Chain A
Amino acid sequence: MSFFVQEVEVSINDFMAKVAANDKFSGLYISTYGGGGQQHHQEHQQQQQQQLQHEQQQEGLQQIRNGSVEVDYNNLDACIAYADSVAKCGRVCESLDLYAQCFRMGPLPADCLWHVTSAFLDLIRQQFDDDPQTIPNPSSPSLQSQQQLQHQQHNNHQYHTYTHVHHHHNTRHDHQQHQQSCPFVCCVCNLVLREPVTLLCGHTCCRRCGGGTACKPIVCNKCGVRTPFQPHVDVLVKSLVEKLWPVQLRASELLDEGKALYRQDKIHSALIKFNQAYYTGGENYDLLNVRSRTLLKLGLHENALLDAVRVVQIKPKWSKGHFTRGMALFSLKRYQEALLEFSLSAVLGENNQKLKSQINEVLQRLLTIYCNETEDLDLEGWNPISHSYLRSYLNTFINRSNVFDKSSNSLKVKSIIKESTFMKKQLCEISTLTELIQHIFVEIMQTKHYTSSVLINNTLNVDTSLLDESDFNCVLCCGMLRNPVTTPCGHTYCLDCLEHNFDYSFHCPLCLTSLPPSLALSKKNTSEFVNELISCKYTKNSLMQTINWKPEPEQDSTYLPVFVCTNAFPSVSCPLHVFEPRYRLMIRRCIESGTRRFAMISNCCPPMKFAEFGTVLEIKDRIMMGNGCSFLSTIGTRRFKVLVRKEHDGYDMATVQYIEDEKVPSKKLSELYKLHDDVRQRGLTWFHSFRSEIKSEILRTVGFPPSTEPNWEELSDGPAWTWWLLSLLPLGQNAHVDLLANTSIEVRLKVINKILSRIERSSLSLRITSSSL
């Protein structure tokens, strides 16, 4: 520091004491900033102190103005210290006023503005994060028309040098539609997909954009779903991108080559690459941004600015773009606009030392310029009091209160906002930093309410004539991909095909990569890219007619999948362990189609694969095991006779005819009632004669004996308890089939009766034998 430091005069001892107190407080402020659990408490304290301090400072300031305290403005140290203290309290404008006084004595180095820079950044970030209610309605007609006007201005005047003009969109509505309608670009960078990887959620991004590592999951930029593995390049998407957008891919490669040269500081060669990329694939924000920085390094500031302006136009909420534009403006000595761009960059997320020092620099230049140009102005001319409404406007921001409600000067504020939307051309008319900052606030809020991360020119057109059916073939079914899903190893199959593959093994069919069962069995999302591309090429009808897509089979209650295993009975539960791949497929289809029904038939009649009679089982519950097997709780419903046998994807199908009991003639009813009651009594006695552990085993498997229905003689399968008892009786499978086929309740009761008496006799003889031993 080369300036001369004068001695402190006694007359401002009091003032300096205040400064010292202020500094102490500022230390506290710094130390609590971003602190831990004590922060809240300290913040409270801080607020109180701030209040106190504020009053003291106001008083001090007032005293200075009134001339009651004589401040020696030649005492730089005191002034800077006071300005810093004010800055640390977050009173940026005041601090800048004070600095302006310092600067009037001669330019100061940027270093000494560090505190006010920090305060400025805090202020604008806080402003940006504040409640959106304090903002003028962004869709208000006046604002919108102004925006359009601005756009037109941009298009007409600033970009005429671009030969490669893409369609510009003037309204936000268009932007939004555009953003939603391109599923073919990377979901992170919004550019053509390089080394595409498809995430668990079905969205695709460039591998390097995904940014995950072995231990850090990739979080999808579109939907936020986490992908807990590092996916391999999506082979299908990669080949489709190469087929459809070779030019854009080439441009993207050139861009990468150029970036590599730029990093090696081969600026000229880099620029050549960037220009090649530009003339190959047209403009995109990434290219323009890096080209702008390159041009800047080469001293071509105007050209750099043109590129940077376009970047911001394409991607208005991109902090890096604003930073680049700020750098270009800075180089052109357009400091006011540079400060605005740096501020936007800061609020949009950029947070690095480079940005901060740039802001620091800009403030220094601005102060220098303002002070030199306004030398004839006296202190009163700089006094923010003369802009009292601005001051109150800013203070309301600082106090986080609602500016546009009830505020007595709301009209004035609104008019300022209106005026300042034309700010860009009027910037030269801004003569004070306070006005500039006020303008920056308005711009920040407008940017915030610009439709979220709007992008133009990010659509890739699909030339469907480049595509044919073979591009979308599933290697497993040889048909058009239906619900395409992509494995972590980057291979795409129909959802059904892949799931069925997992019934057999947890390997990718194409590369034989072992996939963890947990992943294989988890819910899979279809690939948005492939799905959308298929629907670009084919309508649903053409898919059904020309390609193999069969409409979902109509649900026919007499055409059933068959589980060949055992005999099941009406109303009796039948627990099943499903482990064979074909039955896993069958059960999955049963559940997915919503029918939840299948035929259970025993395999007791060789050479026929399954018997002629069986029972329909309804799935009550399914418990999936980690290996793809499952446990089913089912209950028997109706009996049937098999009419036609077929095969489908490895399991059997049957056309069936349902069978019901014949009606009992009323004259036989009383006899039947008696038989029924006897047999039931006998059956229950037999059941109760079991040892308790056997009984509990029975209860666990087939449940409690069903009670007698009041109208059992009218039921199509007779009373439930007869089937329950039949499932326990020691009968062969053939006998069970015969009983299922039988349509007379009387006959079945008699059979049960006969078996029970045989059991009773044998157990009696058993008892006699055992007692005689």
Chain B
Amino acid sequence: MSVLPRRILKETQRLMQEPVPGISAQPDEGNARYFHVKVTGPEDSPFEGGLFKLELFLPEDYPMSAPKVRFITKIYHPNIDRLGRICLDILKDKWSPALQIRTVLLSIQALLSAPNPDDPLANDVAELWKVNEIEAIRNAKEWTRMYATEN
């Protein structure tokens, strides 16, 4: 039981009022620190057409600590492992309290547009991405169609 800091209230309010295109973040009914996130796959990326679900949790000492974010939808990406964990510097050592939920989600969306196989989290995916990018992209599109498409 804790009082929600004004910062979280403000951020939630703004996410609702001025949502980022291609991103939706809804706070959980029972826990204002837990968000259900949906990110659409960026255009001109292998993830185009997909809708990816994520979960985002604001720790007790947010914004001093980074939010914890994880993909729920399976995704074929060199920087996201099979548990949905994301390798993104701003979620770790490059976190700054001036960053917000909004900016974090935008960064994740950008990560989908620009996979970085040189800093891999999913080693097999990254390896293929480096050796045979065409096949890797084909896989990514296939996974997007299988797991991230509604019907």
Please list the residues of chain A having a beta carbon within 8 angstroms of any beta carbon in chain B: 475-479, 500-501, 503-504, 507, 509-510, 512, 548, 581-582, 645-650
| Cβ-neighbour of A512 out of B1, B65, B96 (below 8 A) | B96
Total interface residues on B, CB under 8 Å, equals 17
Closest beta carbon of chain B to A650's beta carbon, Å = 4
Please give, as numbers and ranges, the residues of chain B lying within 8 Å of A510 by CB-CB distance: 96, 98
Query: How long is the Cα–Cα vector from A232 to B98 in the complex, in angstroms?
Result: 19
In the complex, the chain A residue whose C-beta lies closest to that of B3 is A648
Contact A647 B1 (CB under 8 A): yes
Please give, as numbers and ranges, the residues of chain A lying within 8 Å of B5 by CB-CB distance: 477, 649
| Cβ-neighbour of A478 out of B1, B11, B60, B96 (below 8 A) | B11
Using known A-B contacts A475-B98, A478-B7, A501-B97, determine if residue A581 contacts B1 with beta carbons closer than 8 Å. no
Using known A-B contacts A477-B7, A478-B6, A479-B6, determine if residue A501 contacts B64 with beta carbons closer than 8 Å. yes
Does B61 sit at the interface, judged by CB under 8 A?
yes
Contact B64 A500 (CB under 8 A): yes
Query: How long is the Cα–Cα vector from A478 to B63 in the complex, in angstroms?
Result: 11
Closest beta carbon of chain B to A236's beta carbon, Å = 13
Contact B2 A646 (CB under 8 A): yes
Contact B2 A648 (CB under 8 A): yes
| Cβ-neighbour of B60 out of A479, A504, A548, A650 (below 8 A) | A650
| Cβ-neighbour of B6 out of A501, A504, A548, A581 (below 8 A) | A548
Contact B61 A476 (CB under 8 A): no
List the 10 shortest-distance A-B pairs measured between CB atoms, nearest first: A647-B2, A650-B61, A509-B98, A478-B10, A478-B7, A509-B97, A650-B60, A510-B98, A509-B96, A504-B64
7 A-B residue contacts at CB 8 Å? A477-B6, A477-B7, A478-B6, A504-B61, A510-B98, A646-B3, A648-B2
In the complex, the chain A residue whose C-beta lies closest to that of B1 is A646
Query: How long is the Cα–Cα vector from A548 to B96 in the complex, in angstroms?
Result: 23
Please give, as numbers and ranges, the residues of chain A lying within 8 Å of B60 by CB-CB distance: 582, 647, 650
Contact A582 B2 (CB under 8 A): no
Query: How long is the Cα–Cα vector from A477 to B65 in the complex, in angstroms?
Result: 13
In the complex, the chain B residue whose C-beta lies closest to that of A507 is B96
Query: How long is the Cα–Cα vector from A504 to B11 in the complex, in angstroms?
Result: 21
Contact B64 A581 (CB under 8 A): yes
Please give, as numbers and ranges, the residues of chain A lying within 8 Å of B11 by CB-CB distance: 478
Please give, as numbers and ranges, the residues of chain B lying within 8 Å of A649 by CB-CB distance: 5, 61
In the complex, the chain A residue whose C-beta lies closest to that of B94 is A512
Query: How long is the Cα–Cα vector from A645 to B2 in the complex, in angstroms?
Result: 9
Please give, as numbers and ranges, the residues of chain A lying within 8 Å of B10 by CB-CB distance: 478
Query: How long is the Cα–Cα vector from A584 to B16 in the complex, in angstroms?
Result: 34
Contact A476 B2 (CB under 8 A): no
Query: How long is the Cα–Cα vector from A90 to B149 in the complex, in angstroms?
Result: 99
Using known A-B contacts A501-B64, A504-B64, A650-B61, determine if residue A476 contacts B98 with beta carbons closer than 8 Å. yes
Query: How long is the Cα–Cα vector from A504 to B94 in the complex, in angstroms?
Result: 12
Closest beta carbon of chain B to A473's beta carbon, Å = 9
Query: How long is the Cα–Cα vector from A649 to B7 in the complex, in angstroms?
Result: 11
Using known A-B contacts A500-B64, A650-B60, determine if residue A476 contacts B1 with beta carbons closer than 8 Å. no
Contact A476 B7 (CB under 8 A): yes
Closest beta carbon of chain B to A506's beta carbon, Å = 12
Q: Most chain-A Cβ atoms within 10 A of its Cβ — which of B5, B60, B98? A: B98
In the complex, the chain B residue whose C-beta lies closest to that of A504 is B64
Query: How long is the Cα–Cα vector from A548 to B98 in the complex, in angstroms?
Result: 19
Residues of B34-77 whose CB lies within 8 A of A: 60-61, 63-65
Please give, as numbers and ranges, the residues of chain A lying within 8 Å of B64 by CB-CB distance: 500-501, 503-504, 581, 650
Cβ contacts B1-40/A at 8 Å (1 or 0 each):
1110111001100000000000000000000000000000
In the complex, the chain A residue whose C-beta lies closest to that of B64 is A504
Please give, as numbers and ranges, the residues of chain B lying within 8 Å of A650 by CB-CB distance: 60-61, 64
Please give, as numbers and ranges, the residues of chain B lying within 8 Å of A512 by CB-CB distance: 94, 96
Please give, as numbers and ranges, the residues of chain A lying within 8 Å of B65 by CB-CB distance: 504
Query: How long is the Cα–Cα vector from A649 to B64 in the complex, in angstroms?
Result: 10
Closest beta carbon of chain B to A490's beta carbon, Å = 14
Residues of B85-103 whose CB lies within 8 A of A: 94, 96-98
Q: Most chain-A Cβ atoms within 10 A of its Cβ — which of B3, B61, B94? A: B61
Please give, as numbers and ranges, the residues of chain B lying within 8 Å of A478 by CB-CB distance: 6-7, 10-11
Query: How long is the Cα–Cα vector from A501 to B1 in the complex, in angstroms?
Result: 24
Query: How long is the Cα–Cα vector from A582 to B61 in the complex, in angstroms?
Result: 8
Please give, as numbers and ranges, the residues of chain B lying within 8 Å of A548 by CB-CB distance: 6
Query: How long is the Cα–Cα vector from A101 to B7 in the complex, in angstroms?
Result: 85
Please give, as numbers and ranges, the residues of chain B lying within 8 Å of A645 by CB-CB distance: 1
Query: How long is the Cα–Cα vector from A648 to B60 in the complex, in angstroms?
Result: 9
Please give, as numbers and ranges, the residues of chain B lying within 8 Å of A647 by CB-CB distance: 1-3, 60
In the complex, the chain B residue whose C-beta lies closest to that of A580 is B61
In the complex, the chain A residue whose C-beta lies closest to that of B93 is A505
Please give, as numbers and ranges, the residues of chain B lying within 8 Å of A582 by CB-CB distance: 60-61
In the complex, the chain A residue whose C-beta lies closest to that of B63 is A476
In the complex, the chain B residue whose C-beta lies closest to that of A512 is B96
Please give, as numbers and ranges, the residues of chain A lying within 8 Å of B61 by CB-CB distance: 504, 581-582, 649-650
Residues of B72-122 whose CB lies within 8 A of A: 94, 96-98
Closest beta carbon of chain B to A479's beta carbon, Å = 5
In the complex, the chain B residue whose C-beta lies closest to that of A550 is B6
Query: How long is the Cα–Cα vector from A306 to B120 in the complex, in angstroms?
Result: 74
Query: How long is the Cα–Cα vector from A510 to B100 in the complex, in angstroms?
Result: 11
Please give, as numbers and ranges, the residues of chain B lying within 8 Å of A500 by CB-CB distance: 64
Please give, as numbers and ranges, the residues of chain A lying within 8 Å of B3 by CB-CB distance: 646-648
- Known A-B contacts: A512-B96, A647-B3. Give 12 more (CB < 8 A): A475-B97, A476-B98, A478-B6, A479-B6, A479-B7, A504-B61, A504-B65, A504-B97, A509-B97, A647-B1, A648-B3, A649-B5
Closest beta carbon of chain A to B6's beta carbon, Å = 5
Please give, as numbers and ranges, the residues of chain B lying within 8 Å of A581 by CB-CB distance: 61, 64
Closest beta carbon of chain B to A727's beta carbon, Å = 30
Query: How long is the Cα–Cα vector from A477 to B96 in the complex, in angstroms?
Result: 13
Query: How long is the Cα–Cα vector from A475 to B10 in the complex, in angstroms?
Result: 11
Please give, as numbers and ranges, the residues of chain B lying within 8 Å of A475 by CB-CB distance: 97-98
Closest beta carbon of chain A to B88's beta carbon, Å = 16
Please give, as numbers and ranges, the residues of chain B lying within 8 Å of A479 by CB-CB distance: 6-7
In the complex, the chain B residue whose C-beta lies closest to that of A500 is B64
Q: Most chain-B Cβ atoms within 10 A of its Cβ — which of A477, A478, A500, A512? A: A478
Closest beta carbon of chain B to A543's beta carbon, Å = 14
Closest beta carbon of chain A to B3's beta carbon, Å = 7
Please give, as numbers and ranges, the residues of chain A lying within 8 Å of B1 by CB-CB distance: 645-647
Closest beta carbon of chain A to B81's beta carbon, Å = 27
Closest beta carbon of chain B to A476's beta carbon, Å = 5
In the complex, the chain A residue whose C-beta lies closest to that of B10 is A478
Query: How long is the Cα–Cα vector from A478 to B15 in the complex, in angstroms?
Result: 14
Closest beta carbon of chain A to B97's beta carbon, Å = 5
Query: How long is the Cα–Cα vector from A479 to B5 in the complex, in angstroms?
Result: 10
In the complex, the chain A residue whose C-beta lies closest to that of B98 is A509
Query: How long is the Cα–Cα vector from A512 to B65 in the complex, in angstroms?
Result: 15
Query: How long is the Cα–Cα vector from A489 to B1 in the complex, in angstroms?
Result: 38
Query: How long is the Cα–Cα vector from A477 to B8 in the complex, in angstroms?
Result: 9
Query: How long is the Cα–Cα vector from A478 to B98 in the complex, in angstroms?
Result: 10
In the complex, the chain B residue whose C-beta lies closest to that of A503 is B64
Query: How long is the Cα–Cα vector from A475 to B11 in the complex, in angstroms?
Result: 11
Closest beta carbon of chain B to A297's beta carbon, Å = 51
Closest beta carbon of chain A to B18's beta carbon, Å = 13
Please give, as numbers and ranges, the residues of chain B lying within 8 Å of A477 by CB-CB distance: 5-7
Query: How long is the Cα–Cα vector from A660 to B100 in the complex, in angstroms?
Result: 48
Please give, as numbers and ranges, the residues of chain A lying within 8 Å of B7 by CB-CB distance: 476-479
Closest beta carbon of chain A to B83's beta carbon, Å = 25
Query: How long is the Cα–Cα vector from A477 to B64 in the complex, in angstroms?
Result: 10
Closest beta carbon of chain A to B30's beta carbon, Å = 16
Query: How long is the Cα–Cα vector from A501 to B2 in the complex, in angstroms?
Result: 21
Please give, as numbers and ranges, the residues of chain A lying within 8 Å of B94 by CB-CB distance: 512
Query: How long is the Cα–Cα vector from A635 to B94 in the complex, in angstroms?
Result: 39
In the complex, the chain A residue whose C-beta lies closest to that of B59 is A650
Closest beta carbon of chain A to B16's beta carbon, Å = 15
